[in-house]
């Protein structure tokens, strides 16, 4: 008591001196840290006292340097029981701050604008630093609730980023692109070469078919110069389907291989004079041929054509070759094609022919870059392929385009935000940062986002230059193929980025116990799955090699080793053609198919499922035994309930019980209370626990004394709830102290490094008010557990009584049988035997009637009977000796207790 009074007097003296200095200086310096006893005194004397808030919740604490004189230190040291003169060690502040002003006096804030600007800049820097406060930046001593709050803030920020990214990706793609591609492909791919033939571009087989296609469907599709009523359209302009403007002129290009590029056997050199190998850059022919004038007959390299390589069905072709730019009119183009055909532009050395052109539809603001490829393999014949690429190259026209522009700016800001965040986390954790898969995924998402931004900028700038050049010379070929390539790469990167961004949601979902079962199951079974995968692919690749060698020459699905692998995956999923396999080989075909399905589907696939199921069962059982922790859903539900209570839209349990007591008057029946509280959403277990706690006499009604005791406890509960609500995180006020005086005194005996750790540990302690709240809650929990234990004891007593009654009945029946046997052995009369039996039965009935009377008395009292017939207290537990001595009457009485 003396120590508490001393520290209170020291605190009052310091407060008076601080207020007097603030009045003289015209400012409000920070209050000195208080000791533990001072905080307790404040909490008792001031109902509005705000306890110390967590540093993580309130943001960075801006500590002000205060210098203590020797006199103040000595007075405080005597008050708190510390050593004389053991005051706080003086700390040096910024340049320009003076020393101690005297005993017990505080140095005021420095005059001048420079220190104030420095303090303001420091506060601003710390606030900006708080924007990147993720769970990896939180201190290890933060509470579970504070940790979940950081996760929730990170999740909300990430969800906004995900929404912006989805708007950007889905905003650049529409169903119009599919319909645009479909109508253009129908026009050039499915139109027959003539009215008498059904051959179209997809089914071309010879060079003659190629020329028929160029002279028929190609010219008809490119040049729409007449309306359906035979009226001409705009001069020197072609609108395909009357809506799609043909940009510039089309181009036909071919690639050849030189003669003699392959070797001929000696025995066949007399019969075979020419030999043209398969296409490769090394075998490519670059010499002039035919008419030897013009670009159609002379070779042009890839750089001059501004071309790029193309991956065909048979080979990969370069962007060079012999090319012919067609005209803007149908008549001139027909003459050019006829000249190429007449002079044998395609010959045995031709390996690929490209038809390139581009169209633009202003209605939907889409370009379509079209490439038709005809490959001439060394085996003879030809193979066709095509590529229709709709792209949106002109941006920022409609209102929605400007909205997408705003989303693009937001996306760039988010990428910059996450870049700073990852840099800060790497700076804090070092190489340990890369041990987490989620952190590596964050880096991957940022890299993909930066690449997508760069491609988008390059594509936009290149389109402007290309369109300007096209408007200057409309008779040239506009090479949109590089832009289409970069657009395709941009779409691929955007698709992969969106996929990984969605996958990262599992990082936040895993904080839920149910959702975390998936990741835990996969992480536990990864070793078993890897071992199974090795065994699986050994057998799988063996079957793929067998299928390639046996069926590769006859079945298209097995024509290459890669096709064999994909075909076998299709067989596992049920997509197969057994007839083709059987026709290819009548013996090995059925054997291959049967054994593959048996081993891969019925054995290995079920082993894989067994591994997953077994691991999932283990994870589920382990999680059931784990200690339940606060989850994100609990935090959201808690915040929602507090918000509803603050808005007066929801009542607490204390309010519901108080209202029921007011309506009950002098006495409150258990049935009335249960009916009232159940209507307000409370469970039977809660209602019964509350009533059992205060119904001390067991008469199923609350008397005036019990009523008043419940009111007192409810008021204490209301105070606890108010205290919890006041301890919610809020900005630091003048009564929030980051440290106590006791911590300062303890720091005198330690070095600076150890004192900083001690400050970190003390800031995360539990205040006196929180400790009192926890003590009250523990007391209520123990009282509730006591009532539950008493009811369990009553059930045990009833079961023991039933067992004893069974033994007694067995004893009575045994005595009756013994009596019958004894009479028969001694030859007694039946009258004597009947009288003895009636006497035994009568004694047993009298004993049962006395047991029933005792059970009714215990039911009215509401308590189980002890071994001597006396009521037993609710809070007492029967010992093993007492349980053995309880008779059947007590057991029946205990059976009336409601559990």
User: pLDDT by residue (tens digit) across 152-182?
Assistant: 888 889 999 999 999 999 888 888 899 999 9
What's the rounded mean pLDDT across residues 296-303? 94
Mean pLDDT for all residues in the chain: 74
The most confident of the ranges 262-266, 364-368, 390-394, 627-631 is: 364-368
Helix (H) or strand (E) holding 179: helix 175-189
Count of residues making up the chain: 899
**Confidence label for 738 from pLDDT (cuts 50, 70 and 90):** very low
CB-based burial of residue 770 (10 Å sphere; 0-12 exposed, 13-18 middle, 19+ buried)?
Answer: middle
Under 8 Å CB-to-CB from 525, ≥6 apart: which residues? 611, 612, 614, 615
Q: What is the pLDDT of residue 736?
A: 36
Residue with tokens 């004894």: 822
Q: Please name every residue paired with 311 in a beta bridge, in sequence order, or none if there are none.
A: 316
Residue with tokens 């007075």: 75
Residue with tokens 């500590």: 63
Cβ-contact 743, 759 below 8 angstroms: yes
Under 8 Å CB-to-CB from 23, ≥6 apart: which residues? none
What's the rounded mean pLDDT across residues 195-213? 92
Q: What is the pLDDT of residue 693?
A: 72
Question: Residue 370: phi, psi to the nearest 5?
Answer: -115, 135
Q: Does residue 112 register a pLDDT over 80?
A: no
Q: Which residue has the higher pLDDT, 41 or 829?
A: 829
Cβ-contact 582, 589 below 8 angstroms: yes
Cβ-contact 547, 558 below 8 angstroms: yes
Which tens digit of pLDDT belongs to each residue from 757-778? 433 333 445 666 677 778 878 8
Helices (H), ranges, 435-551: 437-472, 481-503, 505-509, 516-524, 526-551
**Confidence label for 590 from pLDDT (cuts 50, 70 and 90):** very high
* Structure tokens that stand for 265 in this block: 């056997």
CB-based burial of residue 812 (10 Å sphere; 0-12 exposed, 13-18 middle, 19+ buried)?
Answer: middle
For residues 422, 425, 429, 433, the Cα torsion angle rounded to the nearest 10 degrees is -30
Cβ-contact 112, 96 below 8 angstroms: yes
For residues 729, 731, 732, 738, the Cα torsion angle rounded to the nearest 10 degrees is 40
Q: Are strands 366-375 and 383-391 parallel, antiparallel or unpaired?
A: antiparallel
**Weakest-pLDDT range from 39-43, 216-220, 278-282, 594-598:** 39-43
The most confident of the ranges 107-121, 341-355, 676-690, 830-844 is: 341-355
What's the rounded mean pLDDT across residues 251-274? 89
pTM of the complete model beyond 0.75: no
For residue 481, count other CB atoms closer than 10 A to its CB.
21
Q: What is the pLDDT of residue 129?
A: 62
From CA 190, how far away is CA 353, in angstroms rounded?
A: 19
**Weakest-pLDDT range from 133-142, 326-335, 813-822, 876-885:** 876-885
Q: Are strands 350-361 and 310-311 parallel, antiparallel or unpaired?
A: unpaired
Residues of 382-400 as b/e, b for ≥16 C-beta within 10 angstroms? bbbbbebbbbbbbbeeeee
From CA 686, how far away is CA 670, in angstroms rounded?
A: 13
The most confident of the ranges 46-60, 335-349, 863-877, 884-898 is: 335-349
Cβ-contact 297, 286 below 8 angstroms: no
Which tens digit of pLDDT belongs to each residue from 213-223? 999 999 999 99
């Amino acid at each position: 008591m003396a120590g508490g009074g001393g520290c209170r007097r020291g605190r009052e003296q310091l407060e008076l001196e601080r207020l007097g200095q603030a009045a003289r200086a015209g400012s409000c310096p920070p209050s000195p840290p208080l000791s533990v006893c001072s905080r307790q005194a404040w909490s008792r004397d001031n109902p509005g006292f705000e306890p110390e808030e967590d540093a993580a919740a309130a943001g960075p604490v801006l500590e002000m340097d205060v210098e203590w004189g020797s006199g103040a230190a000595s007075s405080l040291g005597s008050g708190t029981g510390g050593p004389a003169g053991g005051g706080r060690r003086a700390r040096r502040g910024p340049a320009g701050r003076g020393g101690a002003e005297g005993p017990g006096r505080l140095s005021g804030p420095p005059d001048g604008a420079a220190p104030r600007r420095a303090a303001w800049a420091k506060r601003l820097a710390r606030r900006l630093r708080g924007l990147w406060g993720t769970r990896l930046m939180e201190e290890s001593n933060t509470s579970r609730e504070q940790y979940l709050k950081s996760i929730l803030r990170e999740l909300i920020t990430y969800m906004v980023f995900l929404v912006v990214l989805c708007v950007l990706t889905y905003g650049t793609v529409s169903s119009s692109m599919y319909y645009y591609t479909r109508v253009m492909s129908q026009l050039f791919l499915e139109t027959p070469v003539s009215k008498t033939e059904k051959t179209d571009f997809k089914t071309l087989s010879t060079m003659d078919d190629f020329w028929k296609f160029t002279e028929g469907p190609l010219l008809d599709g490119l040049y729409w110069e007449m309306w359906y009523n035979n009226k001409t359209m705009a001069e020197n302009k072609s609108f395909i389907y009357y809506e799609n403007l043909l940009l510039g002129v089309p181009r036909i290009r071919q690639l050849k291989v030189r003669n003699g590029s392959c070797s001929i056997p000696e025995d066949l050199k007399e019969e075979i004079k020419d030999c043209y190998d398969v296409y490769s850059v090394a075998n490519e022919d670059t010499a002039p041929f035919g008419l030897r004038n013009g670009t159609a007959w002379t070779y042009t390299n890839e750089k001059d054509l501004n071309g790029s390589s193309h991956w065909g069905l048979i080979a990969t072709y370069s962007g060079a070759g012999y090319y012919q730019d067609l005209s803007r009119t149908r008549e001139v183009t027909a003459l050019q094609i006829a000249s190429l055909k007449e002079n044998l532009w395609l010959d045995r050395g031709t390996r690929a022919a490209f038809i390139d052109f581009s169209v633009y539809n202003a209605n939907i603001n889409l370009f379509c870059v079209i490439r038709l490829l005809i490959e001439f393999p060394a085996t003879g014949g030809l193979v066709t392929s095509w590529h229709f690429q709709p792209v949106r190259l002109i941006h920022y026209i409609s209102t929605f385009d400007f909205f997408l522009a705003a989303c693009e700016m937001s996306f760039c800001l988010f990428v910059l935000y996450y870049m700073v965040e990852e840099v800060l986390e790497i700076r804090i954790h070092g190489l340990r940062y890369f041990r987490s898969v989620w952190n590596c995924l964050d880096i991957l998402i940022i890299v993909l986002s930066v690449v997508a931004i760069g491609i988008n900028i390059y594509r936009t700038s290149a389109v402007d230059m290309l369109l300007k050049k096209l408007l200057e010379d409309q008779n040239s070929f506009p090479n949109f193929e590089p832009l289409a390539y970069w657009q395709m790469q941009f779409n691929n990167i955007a698709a992969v980025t969106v996929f990984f961004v969605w996958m990262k949601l599992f990082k936040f979902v895993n904080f839920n116990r149910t959702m975390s079962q998936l990741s835990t199951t996969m992480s536990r079974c990864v070793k078993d799955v890897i071992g199974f995968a090795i065994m699986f692919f050994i057998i799988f690749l063996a079957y793929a090699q067998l299928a390639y060698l046996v069926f590769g020459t006859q079945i298209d699905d097995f024509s290459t080793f890669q096709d064999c692998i994909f075909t076998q995956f299709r067989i596992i999923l049920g997509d197969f053609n057994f007839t083709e396999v059987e026709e290819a080989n009548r013996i090995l075909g059925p054997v291959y198919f049967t054994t593959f399905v048996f081993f891969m589907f019925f054995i290995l696939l079920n082993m894989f499922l067994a591994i997953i199921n077994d691991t999932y069962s283990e994870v589920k059982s382990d999680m059931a035994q784990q200690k339940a922790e606060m989850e994100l859903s609990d935090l959201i539900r808690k915040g929602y309930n507090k918000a509803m209570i603050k808005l007066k839209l929801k009542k607490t349990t204390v309010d519901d019980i108080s209202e029921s007591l007011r309506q009950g008057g002098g006495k409150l029946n258990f049935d009335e209370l249960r009916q009232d509280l159940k209507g307000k959403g409370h469970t039977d277990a809660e209602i019964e626990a509350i009533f059992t706690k205060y119904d001390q006499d067991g008469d199923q009604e609350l008397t005036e004394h019990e009523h008043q005791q419940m009111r007192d406890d409810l008021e204490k509960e209301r105070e606890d709830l108010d205290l919890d609500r006041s301890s919610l995180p809020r900005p630091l006020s003048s009564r929030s102290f980051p440290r106590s005086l006791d911590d300062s005194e303890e720091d005198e005996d330690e070095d600076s490094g150890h004192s900083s750790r001690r400050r970190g540990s003390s800031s995360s302690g539990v205040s006196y008010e929180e400790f009192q709240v926890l003590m009250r809650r523990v007391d209520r929990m123990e009282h509730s557990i006591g009532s539950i234990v008493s009811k369990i004891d009553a059930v045990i007593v009833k079961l023991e009584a039933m067992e004893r009654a069974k033994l007694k009945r067995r004893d009575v029946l045994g005595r009756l049988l013994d009596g019958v046997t004894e009479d028969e052995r001694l030859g007694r009369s039946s009258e004597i035997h009947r009288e003895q039996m009636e006497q035994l039965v009568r004694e047993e009935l009298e004993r049962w009637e006395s047991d029933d009377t005792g059970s009714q008395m215990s039911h009215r009292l509401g308590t189980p009977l002890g071994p001597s017939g006396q009521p037993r207290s609710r809070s007492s537990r029967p010992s093993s000796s007492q349980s053995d001595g309880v008779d059947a009457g007590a057991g029946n009485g205990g059976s009336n207790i409601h559990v």
